[in-house]
Amino acid sequence: MSQIHIPSFAPEVIFHIGPIAITNTIINVWMAILVFLALGLFIRKNIKNKPGKLQNGCEFILELLLPYFDQVTGDRKKTMRFLPIVGSIFFFILLSNWLGLLPGTGSLKFGHNFVLRPANSDLNLTLAMALVSVISSHVFGFITVGVFTHLGKFVQIGGIIKSFRKGPIAIFTAIIEFFVGILEIISEIAKILSLSLRLFGNIFAGEVLITVIGSLVAVFIPAPFMLLEILVGLIQASVFAMLTLVYLTVATAVPHGVEEH
């Protein structure tokens, strides 16, 4: 009986370019980037007022997504403003998840290591995307409501100093707001952990499941699990993108009690 190779948490190094280690997840990332680059350049070159099938299909997908984004932002202008980053995250995660289902992924070997592995089964990548998501929300917050107003959501020291002139109740309220601000900082860290671990856990678990099933039974039985992973890839891309959109929308909202100038 052949031994079943369970994927490890860490990606496997395929080769090196100088001091840079090229892992099997990076290859999946490069494939996704090349697909998007080729598709984007082709559409840009052939864009017309009377769209062809490819342009028409892309416009249809965009028009399908925009109403869902509008439900979160409540404003089409905000939707269009956040669309480049949220749309890029959604389609990149979706494509990289589906590329991980290509024949040879998890089975094609180069030496002792597997050549292909789903990109989002690498915690480094999901953590990097989570950082991009959360940090972008703060950048948009700084630009939209101002640096000090946005920082005021987390740091309430000024409120404590001012409260000394308003009596004990004001001081007590300011202290509570200060600790609420600390909880907000902790929640920002929790967002990063939640986004990265959720995506990594689901994709890695699916990779392990397909590897085990494919090693035991090579034909027919793995097919339903592959179809399930297609659905999981879509759901995980949607969840990550929509949460990013929520973070961007909340960060750019003016806090209660602050006048919008």
Closest to 254 measured CA to CA, from 156, 158, 148: 148
Say which residue, 46 or 257, is predicted with more confidence: 46
Closest to 144 measured CA to CA, from 81, 83, 68: 81
At position 162, the amino acid (one-letter code) is K
For residue 131, the model assigns a pLDDT of 95
Pure H helices in 46-121: 53-73, 76-99
| Distance in angstroms (rounded) separating the CA atoms of residues 163 and 141 | 26
> Which residues does 91 contact at the CB level (< 8 Å), separation at least 6?
36, 237
Residues, the chain, total? 261
> Which residues does 31 contact at the CB level (< 8 Å), separation at least 6?
99
Other C-beta atoms closer than 10 Å to the C-beta of 101 total 18
pLDDT digits over 163-220, tens only?
A: 666 767 777 777 777 777 788 889 999 999 999 999 998 888 877 777 777 666 665 6
CB 14 within 8 A of CB 27: yes
| Distance in angstroms (rounded) separating the CA atoms of residues 185 and 195 | 16
CB 37 within 8 A of CB 109: no
Mean pLDDT lowest among 117-126, 223-232, 235-244, 245-254:
223-232
Give me the chain's average pLDDT, please.
81
Please report where in the chains the tokens 């740091």 appear, as a residue.
Answer: 155
pLDDT digits over 94-106, tens only?
A: 998 888 777 656 5
| Distance in angstroms (rounded) separating the CA atoms of residues 84 and 77 | 13
Closest to 210 measured CA to CA, from 106, 119, 110, 104: 106
The answer, yes or no, to whether residue 261 has pLDDT greater than 50, is: no
Does the global pTM surpass 0.85? no
> In whole angstroms, how large is the CA radius of gyration of the chain?
23
% of the chain beyond a pLDDT of 90? 28
CB 191 within 8 A of CB 247: yes
The domain ranges of the chain are 13-251
Helix then strand then coil, % of the chain, to nearest 5: 70, 5, 25
CB 45 within 8 A of CB 159: no
Residue 46 three-state SS: coil
Taking residues 87-93, what's their average pLDDT?
Answer: 92
CB 120 within 8 A of CB 93: yes
Closest to 5 measured CA to CA, from 221, 203, 216: 216
Helices and strands: H and E segment counts in the chain: 8, 4
Per-residue confidence band for 71, with pLDDT thresholds at 50, 70 and 90:
very high
User: 85-95 burial by CB neighbour count: b if 16+ within 10 A, else e?
Assistant: bbbebbbbbbb
Say which residue, 196 or 157, is predicted with more confidence: 196
